Amino acid sequence: MDLRHLRTFRAVVDRSSFSQAAEALEISQPAVSGQIRSLEKELGLKLLDRGGRRLATTEAGAVLYEHAGRVLAAEAALERALAEVGDGVSGRLMLGASTGPGELLAPRLLGDFAEAHPEVELHLAVYDSRTVCERVLDDELELGFVGAAGAMRGLSVEPFVRDELVVITPPGHPLSERGSVSLQELAAEPMLMQQRGSGVRAVLEDAMRAAGLRDRDLTIAMELGLQQSVKAAVLDGIGITVISRLAVEREVADGRLRAVPLAGPGLARDFSLVRASRHTPSRAAEAFLAFARKRAAGRR
């Protein structure tokens, strides 16, 4: 049985989509469809039910999904063990991240680590926080970065970076030179907002409720999707927004934006590093952990 087909099958099930699986695996959609057909032909079983509105596994598909996870985890463990044989740091390191740290932390961190350790083959998968934690516990990922990690048996959770929310404005805006802005003052300003369900908006709304404010107390001029959309709108002078400080470090440093702290508790979140506590990290993972922790310490 081709392990690539098992990996593709799990990607399709995870995303309930052939096209999204193809994008995640960086192959064409026809290639994904062909691998699933080959797997069904080899096993003589129907694995996916394509008849409803949502793609679902058959009974055989559910069994294969579970066992394929174990097979792929064993493959990853074997590769890690073999990589330990030689001197130096090498091998494949499978990492996961939820959307926030996957956008704000991981790309730059992985790029700098790859420059320092070119013999390590890095792979980053982006899921929701719970899926990252489950994949780490299942040995499909060795390490993960998440915005929220619930208590899970066998999961080690290490706060990594504190992500502060700030108000960003164009230079020259009346708020741009303030030392801080309260939530009550912010409610009087026309705001550009990220869509409901985004991490930043959830943190902001929780802090507002704690301060006795409601979402409808905000003056929302426009709702513009996720962080890149609202940041672009502020850069174009359309308005102001609340955003992660990590998302605007470069624009603030070069003077294109001003970042004003928000006064009050609850306006920050931790990005955490998760790993399976029962496993000894591979040499590549140990090197990455040391590298990441050094970077995180430099931010404190």
Tell me, what CATH number does 178's domain have? 3.40.190.10
* Position 199 confidence tier, pLDDT thresholds 50, 70, 90: confident
Strand segments, DSSP code E, in the chain are 48-49, 56-57, 91-97, 120-126, 143-146, 155-169, 181-182, 190-193, 219-223, 240-244, 258-263, 268-276
Q: Using the predicted structure, report yes or no on whether residue 151 has a pLDDT greater than 80.
A: no
What's the domain count of the chain? Answer: 2
Question: What pLDDT does residue 232 have?
Answer: 92
Question: What pLDDT does residue 85 have?
Answer: 62
What's the whole-number average pLDDT of the chain? 87
Q: Using the predicted structure, report yes or no on whether residue 115 has a pLDDT greater than 80.
A: yes
CATH code, domain with 41:
1.10.10.10
Question: What pLDDT does residue 112 have?
Answer: 93
Question: What pLDDT does residue 280 have?
Answer: 79
User: Which pairing describes strands 143-146 and 181-182: parallel, antiparallel, or unpaired?
Assistant: unpaired
What distance in Å separates the CA atoms of residue 30 and residue 33, rounded to the nearest whole number?
A: 5
User: pLDDT above 70 covers what percent of the chain?
Assistant: 94
Is residue 190 a contact partner of residue 221, using CB atoms and an 8 Å limit?
yes
Question: What pLDDT does residue 105 have?
Answer: 86
Is residue 96 a contact partner of residue 76, using CB atoms and an 8 Å limit?
no
Residue 300 within any structural domain of the chain: no
Residue 147 within any structural domain of the chain: no
User: Which pairing describes strands 268-276 and 143-146: parallel, antiparallel, or unpaired?
Assistant: antiparallel
Residue 226 within any structural domain of the chain: yes
Most confident of 47-61, 63-77, 141-155, 177-191: 177-191
Residue 64 within any structural domain of the chain: yes
Helices 59-83/283-299 angle, 10° precision: 90
Residue type, 84: E
Residue 19 within any structural domain of the chain: yes
Question: What pLDDT does residue 83 have?
Answer: 64
Kindly give, in sequence order, each residue whose CB lies less than 8 Å from that of residue 184, ignoring residues fewer than 6 positions away: 211, 213
Q: Using the predicted structure, report yes or no on whether residue 154 has a pLDDT greater than 70.
A: yes
- Overall average pLDDT of the 103-122 stretch: 90
* Position 104 confidence tier, pLDDT thresholds 50, 70, 90: confident
User: pLDDT above 90 covers what percent of the chain?
Assistant: 36
Instruction: State pLDDT tens for residues 17-48.
Output: 888 888 888 889 999 999 999 999 999 999 99
Residue type, 7: R
Last residue of a domain, one of 60, 83, 106: 83
Q: Answer yes or no: do 167 and 76 share one domain.
A: no
- Overall average pLDDT of the 206-225 stretch: 86
Question: What pLDDT does residue 171 have?
Answer: 93
Last residue of a domain, one of 83, 99, 120: 83
Question: What pLDDT does residue 300 have?
Answer: 57
Residue 51 within any structural domain of the chain: yes
Instruction: State pLDDT tens for residues 243-262.
Output: 989 889 899 999 999 999 99
Question: What pLDDT does residue 214 have?
Answer: 83
Residue 96 within any structural domain of the chain: no
For 1, the domain range is 1-83
Residue 94 within any structural domain of the chain: no
